[in-house]
Amino acid sequence: MLHSATILNLMALATLLPAAFLGLRREPKRDSLLWLTLLAAALGAGLWVVAAFLPGWRTDFGAALWVTVAVTVGLFIVLVVFDAEAWRLSSLLSPAVLVLGVLATIWTSHEGARPLIQPPGGLVAVHIAVSVATYGLVTIAAVAALAAILQERALKTKRPTAMTRMLPAVAICDRMMVRLLIVGEIVLGAGLLSGMALSLTEAGAVLALDHKTILTVTAFVLIGGLLGVHFRSGLRGRRAARWALAAYLLLTLGYPGVKFVTEVLLG
């Protein structure tokens, strides 16, 4: 018999499948089917988070991944509402989110990965919320960066594929990437400030010099540098996209990466 946690995981994972395969349509478009699949994905991941966190606060790696999925899909829906071309990123973002869902299912389907603790205080909760929002924003920005690289390569080789035909143009990818990074930098800055306040309250130091803090601060500086160079010299295309992907890698190592090492490999 399947455990209730496994059933919950599989149900949430099933809601991610339609969006992940929607890009295989012969003529993808921003229609009701797209909205239904995105809303189903957001609802499935969101309900998982609600059901899993009702008994108590969770800090395990699998739960962190499901929260990331829910927030990323939710933020992407907001982006699609306000940007008529953003939906074209779904052919890259939705499969990536599905992979995260598979990994989350693996790590939350066994008993050893589900510790429960008391709900965090107000400042800790704010810091966590800001951190997850930052990671969701930069994840979508990284997808836009990857789309720009794929489009630029297709134009250079004069060999467009079915996927690149669906993706936004390079200029549109650049525009979305920069806007998302601006918002992500602001939210990340708020996260660093809340982290400083938390560290000062708990440890008496402004910053805890651990791996997560160092990686996050480096990502903040890198994103700020990219935005500065972009507005001063017009840096865009593949070079700007590589900077964005590097920042995303740093945040990945700092947020889910450190959690994976400490709770899965060393736990």
**Distance separating alpha carbons of residues 108 and 252, to the nearest angstrom:** 19
For residue 59, the one-letter residue type is T
Q: What is the pLDDT of residues 160-190, one digit of tens each?
A: 888 888 899 999 999 999 999 999 999 999 8
Last residue of a domain, one of 69, 86, 119: 119
Per-residue pLDDT averaged across 95-119, rounded? 74
**Containing domain of residue 9, as a range?**
1-119
**Distance separating alpha carbons of residues 89 and 140, to the nearest angstrom:** 8
Residues 30 and 106 in one domain: yes
Residues 146 and 63 in one domain: no
**Distance separating alpha carbons of residues 122 and 54, to the nearest angstrom:** 17
Residues 145 and 260 in one domain: yes
Residues 196 and 135 in one domain: yes
Residues 140 and 233 in one domain: yes
For residue 138, the one-letter residue type is V
Contacts of 110 (CB under 8 A, 6+ apart): none
Contacts of 241 (CB under 8 A, 6+ apart): 145, 146, 148, 149, 173, 174, 177
Q: What is the pLDDT of residues 198-220, one digit of tens each?
A: 777 766 666 667 778 888 889 99
Cβ 20 vs Cβ 95: under 8 Å: yes
Q: How many domains does the chain have?
A: 2
What are the percentages of helix, strand and coil residues in the chain, rounded to 5? 80, 0, 15
Residues 238 and 211 in one domain: yes
**Distance separating alpha carbons of residues 190 and 18, to the nearest angstrom:** 35
pLDDT at 113: 47
Residues 197 and 150 in one domain: yes
Residues 65 and 189 in one domain: no
**Mean pLDDT over all residues of the chain?**
85
**Distance separating alpha carbons of residues 93 and 71, to the nearest angstrom:** 13
Residues 135 and 257 in one domain: yes
Residues 50 and 67 in one domain: yes
Helices then strands, each counted (H, E), the chain: 10, 2
Residues 176 and 103 in one domain: no
- According to DSSP, residue 6 is labeled H
For residue 13, the one-letter residue type is L
- According to DSSP, residue 37 is labeled H
Residues 7 and 126 in one domain: no
Q: Which of 2-16, 25-39, 116-130 has the lowest mean pLDDT?
A: 116-130
Q: What is the pLDDT of residues 242-263, one digit of tens each?
A: 989 999 998 888 887 666 666 6
Tell me the CB-side half-sphere exposure of residue 96, using CA atoms within 13 A: 17
Cβ 255 vs Cβ 188: under 8 Å: no
pLDDT at 75: 97
Last residue of a domain, one of 119, 150, 180: 119
Q: Give the whole-number percent of the chain exceeding pLDDT 90.
A: 48
Q: What is the pLDDT of residues 150-167, one digit of tens each?
A: 999 988 888 888 888 889
Cβ 69 vs Cβ 45: under 8 Å: yes
Does the pLDDT at position 54 exceed 50?
yes
Last residue of a domain, one of 86, 119, 152: 119
